[in-house]
């Protein structure tokens, strides 16, 4: 989707009268329709085992990261988490799970971070 003034294609579709009346009350109908369509085209997130939805492009990017980086699975919810050495973590990589000293790993949400 191009929101930066690039080429855009006009698409038309039919609606029942009630839906058309409801849509007329939406302040920015075009943006509303674009967001509704995008939401329906999302795919399950590979990083959280489908508990969230992402665009197909984001899913490919996340799948690539999961395959190319050390990762583990949260022992509580199954979300993918990235593992780092304690030395890397001390350099400010707060997006990663802290070292648990051999205890089951948990994602930031389940660890209460």
Q: Tens digits of per-residue pLDDT, 19-59?
A: 999 999 999 999 999 888 888 888 888 877 777 888 888 88
- Look at residue 97 and tell me whether its pLDDT is greater than 50: no
User: Tokens in use for 29?
Assistant: 């109908």
pTM for the whole structure: 0.45
d(CA 100, CA 113) in angstroms, rounded, equals: 13
* Residue 96 φ/ψ, nearest 5 degrees: -100, 160
Nearest residue to 86 (alpha-carbon basis) of 101, 76, 74? 101
d(CA 113, CA 108) in angstroms, rounded, equals: 5
Q: pLDDT > 90: what percent of the chain?
A: 19
**Which of 17-21, 57-61, 79-83 has the highest average model confidence (pLDDT)?**
17-21
d(CA 30, CA 108) in angstroms, rounded, equals: 36
In whole numbers, what is the pLDDT of the chain averaged over residues? 76
* Signed CA dihedral, 29, 12, 37, 57: sign only: negative
User: Tokens in use for 81?
Assistant: 């988490």
Q: Is 99 helix (H, G, I), strand (E, B) or coil?
A: coil
d(CA 35, CA 24) in angstroms, rounded, equals: 16
Confidence at residue 83, expressed as pLDDT on a 0 to 100 scale: 61
């Amino acid at each position: 989707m191009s929101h930066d003034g690039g080429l855009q294609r006009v698409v038309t579709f039919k609606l029942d009268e009630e839906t058309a009346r409801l849509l007329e009350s939406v302040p920015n109908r075009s943006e509303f329709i674009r967001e509704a369509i995008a939401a329906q085209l999302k795919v399950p997130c590979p990083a959280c085992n489908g508990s969230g939805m992402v665009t197909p492009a984001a899913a490919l990017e996340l799948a690539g990261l999961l395959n190319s980086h050390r990762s583990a699975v949260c022992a509580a919810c199954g979300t993918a988490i990235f593992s780092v050495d304690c030395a890397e973590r001390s350099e400010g990589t707060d997006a990663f799970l802290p070292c648990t000293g051999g205890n089951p790993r948990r994602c930031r949400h389940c660890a209460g971070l």
